[in-house]
Chain A
Amino acid sequence: MPTRVAVTGAGIVSALGAGREATLTALRERRTGIAPVRYLKTSHTEFPVGEVKLSNEEMEHMLRIPEPQATTRTMLMGVAAVREALEQACVRRGSGLRVALISGTTVGGMDKSEQYYLDFLENDTKNAYIATHDCGACTEMIADYFGIFSRVQTISTACSSAANAIMLGAMLVEEGRADVVVAGGSECLTKFHLNGFNTLMILDRHLCRPFDAHRAGLNLGEGAAYLVLEAEDTLGRRGVEPLCRISGYANTCDAYHQTASSPGGEGAYLSMAKALEVAQLAPKDISYINAHGTGTENNDLSEGRAIQRLFCNGVPPVSSTKSFTGHATSAAGGVEAVISMLALQHSFIPANLNFATPMPELSFTPDAGSDRPAPLRHVLSNSFGFGGNDTSLIFSKV
């Protein structure tokens, strides 16, 4: 019998607000966080985005970051989310526990690099931000804010980064290689990837419409979200209660194209099937799927077909909460893990906003959500990244 992995804390910052409460309220009230650009200095104001509605200065003040420290937006959001997660799990300094931080990011400190790029090349005024550019630097700045981590590492697999960090965290707990793991991801919006996605022509000028026949692309978002993971059989010693359990996980590779999914969703099918196998569950046991559901032509068809292939006539309620948060890229897997956990805890199915017309290729339509309680037992959360990097996590009621 493998060690069971409990979730004992969760923290989140996204377009829906800072914290679990704000997130839950927005989800229940079906209030999207996607809006016109306000904080990112870009000329592409035609694209709605899911920004965290706080400036860097406001976050620095909120977190009491000492004035001279060089910060990045990814780091600030990460600190806020990790802080909330650690508080909920009652993990404190001097606990004698081996605490690991595994963070997913791809953009890292790019927000400052694109701002100070010419300074980097020409003078010494912004050298502190050269050192905060790489992904590992962001994770270490988050870790050093707390000073409790004895193992710190960073995963970058594009839009599945945070989900892979959570999967790796679960394996560390199962193997007893850490007592407590804080795993998730953080990613701020940058001009770099907003423009990158724009060159790929996959950004919608309207609110994104996941799983709609007329979907026209994704809305980028940003945020940070982390879970605290630990072995279920040692919770008693710390006197904490499990919020839910991670019962299955899998990462597979579509091995098809650097930025597109295979038409049949081979990788997506394999990751969902393997996660079920790890959890020793059958498709019928899944009560809700929090889909990757970006709203692009390619993803929703590929993921939809994979869901159909695996669940056949028994497709459970499916929704993409990217219609609330935007696509928080490397942080998306963390954001959606926390949303999946909230859905389990509070017995509801988050809505798939902006849906109007069924996709002719699919037998199912996304869930519009309702006020009726939906007792959930097992929630499957998908996160798929560039390079066909497909990760599925299963969260279960304890």
Chain B
Amino acid sequence: MSRTNDVYILAAKQISVQPPLTDEWMDAPVRYDAPCARAIDPDYRQHFAPNVARRLGKILKRAMLTSRQAMAASGVANPDAVVTATGLGCIENTELFLDALVREGEELLKPTCFMHSTHNAIGSLIAIDARCHGYNSTCVHKGISFECALDDAFAQLGSNRIQTALVGAHDEMTPSYFALLKRTGYLGHAPNGFSGEVALSMMLATTPGDSALCRLRGVELEYNPDAETLQKTLGRMLQSAQCSLEEVDAVMTGVSGLPSNDRVYASICPELLPNKKQLRYKHLFGESYTAPGLGVYAAAVCLCRQRIPAHLFVGGQSGEQRGVRHILCYNHFEGKNHSLILLSACGK
């Protein structure tokens, strides 16, 4: 089946460690020096009935609100597909149920935490809220969960199976789970990066509407690729988008400050993406399994506004860059999973 449709990002709304539901981080980013930061939550009472706000866990409230706002901003009230990414799912409810199970035994457990513990409770809630009967999937694969979801939606939009898709990236972090992931070396090595939270909802469509942020041109995933495979995959993606590497203005990377993470970019980028300016987003949004969604979001905002703020450049830059045509997002997770995503400004 050959690609037929163009794909646009119509709108993207986030709740993260940066001010919620705005793009303020472009000009006035909040800075963190603690190893773990929780998201800045908006006042949910302004958006939900009190019983809903009380009943739902944080990850579910954030997902529901960012989804509603992405739908409102894009004018798509009932997307053909809801594709959700989450590395850990509803970890807060999972921990509550697990903790009670281990400490209090198997007799006194209550259903609510279990019902809201499954990973796809997020995508289901969005569908129930917006009455979406279409395709509903949840991608749960560590640090490339978001790219898997984006890839699924992109392929289905391109092959004309669907015309609109709401793609989400949602991960919460509890203090206790943070402590566990610190033991494994994934999180919590201030000042070398910090742990964040993410709720991102993005509306994708095959037509640009009035106010698309940018075009999505390609998504590629590779597991344990060698340098040659990665090179070939990049070439294939650029070719299908009829874009050359020279035309790519900058590369959005997952550089976080954690040496084991940054080392992979340092070893791959000079050869794969020679002389390309590198951008980063984890210094603003922190590390989490679905943080790469925020990298794509940040790149989309830059393409829409036609400027890249100085603070996004790895190694710093004296001023912002004006005029942006193409941004390539390159992410890896623990050196095993690699993803390449190409975004272009509308009309370019």
Contacts and interface: CB of A to CB of B under 8 A. Distances in A.
Contact of B106 (A44, A139, A164, A255): A44
A303 B229 CA distance: 46
Measured as residues with beta carbon below 8 angstroms from the partner, the interface class of chain B is: 35 or more
A185 B338 CA distance: 23
A120 B179 CA distance: 9
A114 B1 CA distance: 45
Contacts, number: 187
Contact of A270 (B133, B221, B225): B133
Contacts of B110: 199
Interface in B103-125: 105-107, 109-111, 114-121, 123-125
Nearest to A149: B223
Contact of B137 (A124, A143, A251): A251
Given A192-B98, A387-B118, A136 B140 contact: yes
Of A130, A139, A196, A387, most B-chain CB atoms within 10 Å: A387
Interface residues of A, number: 67
Given A200-B114, A253-B124, A117 B176 contact: no
A139 B105 CA distance: 30
Interface in B125-172: 125, 127-128, 130-142, 144-145, 148, 152, 155-156, 159, 161
Given A136-B142, A255-B128, A3 B117 contact: no
Contact of B109 (A106, A114, A199, A270): A199
Nearest to B221: A151
Contact of A196 (B87, B97, B181, B336): B97
Contacts of B142: 134, 136-137, 140
Contacts of A252: 133-136
A39 B159 CA distance: 46
Contact of A135 (B116, B119, B132): B119
B337 to A, nearest CB: 7
Contacts of B212: none
A370 interface: no
Interface of B: 1, 82, 87-89, 97-99, 101-102, 105-107, 109-111, 114-121, 123-125, 127-128, 130-142, 144-145, 148, 152, 155-156, 159, 161, 176, 179-181, 183-184, 221-225, 229, 289, 336-337
Given A270-B133, A388-B124, A388-B127, 20 more contacts: A120-B180, A124-B183, A134-B87, A135-B140, A156-B120, A156-B139, A157-B136, A158-B119, A171-B155, A175-B1, A175-B159, A192-B101, A196-B117, A199-B109, A255-B124, A257-B128, A266-B133, A386-B121, A387-B121, A388-B128
Given A127-B184, A134-B88, A139-B141, A150 B229 contact: yes
